[in-house]
Structure 1
Amino acid sequence: MSYKLLVLDIDGTVTNSKKEITPKTKEAILELQKKGIPVAIASGRPTKGIVAVADELDFAEYGSYVLAFNGARIINWKTKECIYSKELPIGIPKKLYDDAMHYGTGLMTYEGDSIISAKIPDEYIMIESRITTLPVIKKPDFKSYVNFPVNKCILTADGELLESIEPVIAEKYQLEAQVFRSEPYFLEVLPKNVDKAYCLERLLKILGIEREEMVCCGDGFNDISMIQYAGLGVAMANAQEKVKDVADYITINSNDEDGIAEVIEKFFLK
């Protein structure tokens, strides 16, 4: 099979444990783009949180793509045109505020280049702030303040609590939203039918590429849909076990050992 598109998650996949792109991985991704094969970053991060990665990989020069908010927004990085966007129903953040108060979780969403927190930011919201480099603004009036369209909200808490409430929240919003954990401490709420696979289907139509010609690489729960959907689904050596279970290929090397360079060399540049 001749593959024509490479899709990469960021954290735990294209970046190492220090949230850095290693020289070997960067070189391999640049070499792939130079050969005319586009690359897409598909991440749960907001757009602003992907800028540094996309720019370091010269996406603007080669016309590669960014799928932010788990695919709820797709951007052509060369033109900066948003070619697809889907938002939550306007009333969902208000309902989630009540859920956060009831279960004692954190709650955040995004406005422009900032994270909006309904409470004093917990340690998990601060993790998101560090990863995305976005400042956190506390809004005690979150319920009335967030009256604008948003691509996603996140409930935050320790993994044990979120595991217990995930099925309850998923059932409550099953007709309005997509609910899943991207990390043990992040319970994400996105527009209905939005996940990485769903939005990659739209990108493939734009590019005129078949899904069998696409390679998707990831390590987390929110990567499962695209790994299952891809012609070649790749789980990193450091991936969650559930991700490895659905993958066609598991890298020998982890994200700290240039696992993505391994994939590019084996399936694109051999």
Structure 2
Amino acid sequence: MSRKLLALDLDGTAVCDDYSMGEETKKAIAYARSLGHILVFVTGRRDVDMLTMGRDQWCVDYHLLNTGGKIFRCRDKVVLYNELIEPKVCKRLINHCFQQGLQLQIYSGLTWQVTCMTEQTMEYAKAVGVIPKVIHSLEETDWQNGLEGFMASSDWDGVAKFIDAHLPQIYYINSEPGCIDIMASRVSKWNGIVKLAKHLGIRHEDIITVGNYYNDIEMIQYAAVGIAVANSLKPVKEKANYITQKDNNHDAVAEIIFRMLNHEFDIE
């Protein structure tokens, strides 16, 4: 069998609803890696969001964070690629949110800032174990060098409308109900996977992607083999080559790896 690149969405796919990872999934990932296959978490999460996984975040070879905008090699903690939102766009979006009283979450590396705090954000922050800094002016951010991305939840519709009307350099996508991730226009999970595959010399025929939500559709559609876990949304399943019998809470990834190693996803 040729070396495969198995790109796994995290939330709703590789981890359970409580952010934990099943034991069978961890064992399967370790075994596939021992055979030389490349395992990747590809997610809308930022660096700070990965903290919910503890040591389990390092069970794969690479992280594709920020919806594919940042490629991070796990073995030596090296960033191989990082697509930033250009400074003038950051400045305009942040200023608009301050002027309109909209909550905007600002991310760059492990830096997490918010223009205002909400109960929803505080609840999530406690789960992550990191409390974001509430800022009151543009000058408190490092926008001059560009930023990795933004997120909007409670005020996402107001933020989205401003982006639609004024900022073609960025776009947003629903990563979960009532939440949008915001990134540079060239960024997507699939584009990040293609960059990593090229870097590693992996053929398109050997790329397998797995997801469950709207932001996974493109990578499922364009991979050699696109897989939807059993709990996926209907539009995701419609684009998939295979739908697992198990869901994210019952080691769907272990099922996929078993079938991959059994040559069921080989394309020649």
Do the structures match in fold with TM over 0.5? yes
Please tell me whether residue 239 in structure 1 is matched to residue 232 in structure 2.
yes
Distance 1:99 1:234, change over 3 A: farther
What is the TM-score with the length of structure 2 in the denominator?
A: 0.87
The answer to whether the aligner puts 1:22 opposite 2:22 as a matched pair is: yes
Deviation at 1:103? Answer: 6.3
Structure 1 residue 133: Cα displacement: 3.6
- Name the structure 1 match of 2:163: 169
Residue 122 of structure 2 corresponds to residue 126 of structure 1: yes
Aligned to 1:11: 11
Contact 1:170-1:180 at 8 Å conserved across structures: no
**Letter of the aligned partner of 1:24 in structure 2?**
E
Query: Tell me, which stretches of 5 or more residues in structure 1 are unaligned?
Result: none
Q: Structure 1 residues 211, 253: closer, same or farther in 2, change over 3 A?
A: same
Q: In 2, distance between residues paired with 1:213 and 1:200?
A: 12
Counterpart CA distance in 1 for 2:22 and 2:195 is 30
- SS of the equivalent of 1:27 reads helix
Tell me the CA shift for residue 132 of structure 1.
Answer: 4.2
Q: Can you give the 5+ residue segments of structure 2 that lack an aligned partner in the other structure?
A: 264-268
1:13 alignment partner, SS class: coil
Q: Does 1:266 align with 2:255?
A: no
Task: Note closer, same or farther for the CA distance 1:169–1:58 as it changes in structure 2 (3 Å cut).
Answer: closer
2:178 aligned with 1:185:
yes
**Displacement, 1:18?**
1.3
Distance, in Å, in 2 between the alignment partners of 1:139 and 1:3 is: 46
Range with bigger deviation, 49-58 or 193-202: 49-58
Kindly state the Cα deviation for residue 113 of structure 1 after the two structures are TM-superposed.
2.5
Aligned residues: 261
Correspondences of 1:191-270 after superposition (within 5 Å): 191-269=184-262
The equivalent of 1:138 in structure 2 is 134
Equivalent residue number for residue 38 of structure 2: 38
CA RMSD of aligned residues (A): 2.5
1:96 aligns with 2:93: yes
Secondary structure of the 1:182 match is strand
> Structure 2 vs 1, CA of residues 167 and 107 (structure 1 numbering), >3 Å: closer, same or farther?
closer
State the secondary structure of the residue aligned to 1:12: coil
Q: Which amino acid aligns with 1:40?
A: V
Alignment check: 8 A CA contact 1:93 1:153 kept: no
Q: Provide the rounded CA distance (Å) in 1 between the counterparts of 2:64 and 2:233.
A: 22
C-alpha separation between the residues in 2 aligned to 1:37 and 1:171?
Answer: 44
